[in-house]
Amino acid sequence: MNDSMASHGLIQWHGTTIIGVKRGGKTVIAGDGQVSMGNTVMKPNARKVRRIGEGEKVIAGFAGATADAFTLFERLEKKLEQHRGQLMRAAVELAKDWRTDKYLRNLEALMIVADAEVMLILTGNGDVLEPEAKGDTAIAAIGSGGNYALAAAKALSDYEDDPEKIARRAMAVAAEVCVFTNDRVTLEVIEG
């Protein structure tokens, strides 16, 4: 995957930043809490990152319309149940449905999902993208501040070993630069 999500033709949703950092046996997904409508902050503390699936062994973060994201979370949970917790298979099946189903194809969101094995970006275009790893580190980011967080995390990964510290600092950088991102971070960790 290229560094810039825009190079894939993916839509950059305004109003959030989500970052995933996977290093060694630890994966972190973090997101800010700001919900914006135009130039107005509607809510500063939304929870855009959560655990899903049986045993909550999958973490997911979304950028986009909240109702659409909750629909996708529910669908992904059903796919995880159908495929016995296999995230890659569940994600591919969700992406197929998302692209072809008349109702789902109108949903406006992007997701980063991860378990102890894999981290993926899911899109309404039917994409299931696994970020390219540099050594034992993989980083993905979506949303209006995604490119800022991605750049910060890539720079920090050369000097910091802890993916949680990388994600928190990258979110802080995005909050300083992107007006659609704030510093109220929700973070979930999966260890393998």
Residues labelled as active-site residues: 16
Q: Are 34 and 60 in contact (CB under 8 A)?
A: no
Instruction: Compute the distance between CA of residue 29 and CA of residue 171 in angstroms, rounded to an integer.
Output: 11
Amino acid letter for position 150: L
Instruction: Tell me how many degrees the CA angle 142-144-150 measures, rounded to the nearest 5.
Output: 50
Q: Are 29 and 131 in contact (CB under 8 A)?
A: no
Task: Give me the half-sphere count of Cα atoms (radius 13 Å) on the Cβ side of residue 167.
Answer: 30
Q: Are 29 and 18 in contact (CB under 8 A)?
A: yes
